[in-house]
Chain A
């Protein structure tokens, strides 16, 4: 049976991101996540390069691997040319593939991201769209954004956009052929399977937590993972 490290090593980001880390800690010194969370990318590098199965298993189930913000500040400064954020990407991929992500509060949030950003791409062709940044979910966007969403059609057009209409231009409606190509790429390259995997393990976890879950953004499990933090995770 394969060691978990062998799975990680199949990911080219792990191959490019970790080459004999000497544990100098420069990555941790410049890391925004380390300044906010109890997070230390230097320790992650050290743990992964042990190749120890139990250590990597504990990482895959941990809160820790979800703290990184992928700003990539670590890539710039590592004197060995390593990228701890690439290691994180490989760990997160494996954690989801094997279903360990639902063992942590931060990992369970992947369901909310899949339901929002994930659906946006395949439904409108953009990661973000004005109709999908609701003031209720985004109070930090303030009263001006509320005004924007209430007047989107006229406002975007007033600024020269081609809002939700065919053709070129800002916020245009993307043609069906291009949307079909996106879906076909997702099917061929594993994204559809990854969405299904996130969903499957989230349904199992919701059942275990005795919560309602649906394939939308209006269910008990979604609100829970999207909004709730335990004290040690803030």
Chain B
């Protein structure tokens, strides 16, 4: 059996410090404030060493999973990332992207079962770039790090996940990326059987995690099924299936650890509303969706516009009101520079 039913097989050892950060194409496009929030939490709140390498590029994951490049190309680009990490003196690889997390693990797994492939890729990397590398000692998704430090974040919470109007915990549904939980379930916290990486944060920060039947269903990205306009029916239909499944539980918000999933679950609610005038949240609105970095940022008291919630298509303001977070609506679409400080939004004059 490829799936273990034993929780202890999914209880990862997460290194406490010295991380090499691998940025995400999708997250930096659609949730740039989330990456900034993650680094602010790691560096300023927790005092950790996390390296942001200017030479790091796309892992090619979207091209690889839409089949326009060979397996060898993806593996060699990943080998170059390992080389950059070696060069910088780090051993703990922290991808922000769930697809990258899957790719890095797939490459190491392939090399373990086919050592001749590793030899071939080392030769290809040397021929093309004159680079060598050591393999990472640990690969953990950025959400694993936040999960690991969730109780420290809880100690600094300014806005716990409580509905200030009722005093009740906020009801939260999660969506864990397929390439985090399903390709190598034993590599993530909880795998596909015990999806706790996000619900662990939710419960630590005062909220109530709500299970729903299609919790493990794909968001519908499907790579070529979204990239090509003619195929997007696949993508929206699978998101629709999830929304229909979670709506009866009346969640206050959705949280996701995959940047693509967060973007699709945000945009497809808008699209379904436009197409069918059908909304899955209360009062004819969508269900707000947060990345786990945004959720942590709000809990820590970061200003909503400093962490980028204005880039969401599905409005997050109903959630901010429930959490009792004060915000200036006039500044929502301001283009002045915002700096994340603990509980402070600073705007500098441009």
A-B CB contact pairs (8 Å), 28 listed = A12-B117, A16-B113, A35-B241, A37-B234, A71-B178, A71-B179, A75-B2, A75-B183, A79-B2, A89-B71, A109-B230, A121-B58, A126-B57, A127-B61, A140-B268, A158-B334, A159-B36, A160-B339, A166-B54, A168-B52, A170-B28, A178-B57, A179-B57, A184-B128, A185-B80, A185-B125, A226-B230, A228-B230
Known: A16-B113, A76-B185. A140 touches B236 (CB 8 A): yes
B26 and A128 contact, CB distance less than 8 A: yes
Docked Cα-Cα span, A113 to B231, in Å, equals 12
- Write the chain B residue with the least CB distance to A88: B67
With a cutoff of 8 Å between Cβ atoms, the chain A residues found around residue B26 in the complex are: 127-128
B313 and A145 contact, CB distance less than 8 A: yes
> For chains A and B in complex, what number of residue pairs have CB atoms within 8 angstroms?
260
A140 and B77 contact, CB distance less than 8 A: no
A32 and B220 contact, CB distance less than 8 A: yes
Residue A221 CB within 8 A of the other chain: no
B230 and A77 contact, CB distance less than 8 A: no
Query: Per a CB cutoff under 8 Å, which of A69, A76, A145, A161 touches B28?
Result: A161
- Write the chain A residue with the least CB distance to B185: A76
Residue B194 CB within 8 A of the other chain: no
Interface residues of A (CB under 8 A from B): 11-13, 15-16, 32-33, 35-37, 66, 68-73, 75-79, 81, 89, 92-93, 96, 106, 109-110, 112-114, 116-118, 121, 125-130, 133, 137, 140-145, 147-148, 151, 154-161, 166-172, 174-175, 177-179, 181-182, 184-191, 194-195, 198, 225-229, 233-234
List 19 extra interface pairs beyond A71-B222, A128-B26, CB under 8 A: A16-B110, A32-B238, A35-B237, A37-B234, A72-B102, A73-B216, A76-B183, A78-B2, A118-B69, A121-B57, A125-B58, A133-B29, A148-B311, A154-B350, A160-B32, A181-B129, A182-B57, A185-B80, A188-B76
With a cutoff of 8 Å between Cβ atoms, the chain B residues found around residue A89 in the complex are: 67, 71
Docked Cα-Cα span, A71 to B337, in Å, equals 38
Residue B145 CB within 8 A of the other chain: no
Residue B229 CB within 8 A of the other chain: yes
Docked Cα-Cα span, A152 to B259, in Å, equals 19
B 217-238 binary contact with A (CB < 8 Å = 1; else 0): 1101111110111111110111
A76 and B3 contact, CB distance less than 8 A: yes
A187 and B28 contact, CB distance less than 8 A: no
Query: Per a CB cutoff under 8 Å, which of B29, B232, B307, B310 touches A140?
Result: B232
With a cutoff of 8 Å between Cβ atoms, the chain B residues found around residue A71 in the complex are: 178-179, 182, 218, 221-222
Chain B interface, >50% SS class = helix
Docked Cα-Cα span, A228 to B228, in Å, equals 10
Residue B114 CB within 8 A of the other chain: yes
With a cutoff of 8 Å between Cβ atoms, the chain A residues found around residue B63 in the complex are: 113, 117-118, 121, 127
- Write the chain B residue with the least CB distance to A169: B52
- Write the chain B residue with the least CB distance to A109: B228
Query: Per a CB cutoff under 8 Å, which of B36, B117, B179, B267 touches A141?
Result: B267
Residue B55 CB within 8 A of the other chain: yes
Docked Cα-Cα span, A82 to B306, in Å, equals 45
- Write the chain B residue with the least CB distance to A129: B29
A160 and B340 contact, CB distance less than 8 A: yes
B224 and A66 contact, CB distance less than 8 A: yes
B182 and A160 contact, CB distance less than 8 A: no
Q: Would you give the shortest CB distance from B270 to chain A, in whole angstroms? A: 5
Max chain A C-beta neighbours (<10 A), residue from B26, B58, B75, B307: B58
A226 and B229 contact, CB distance less than 8 A: yes
With a cutoff of 8 Å between Cβ atoms, the chain A residues found around residue B222 in the complex are: 32-33, 68-71
Residue B189 CB within 8 A of the other chain: no
A73 and B218 contact, CB distance less than 8 A: yes
Query: Per a CB cutoff under 8 Å, which of B117, B227, B306 touches A117?
Result: B227
Max chain B C-beta neighbours (<10 A), residue from A118, A181, A229: A181
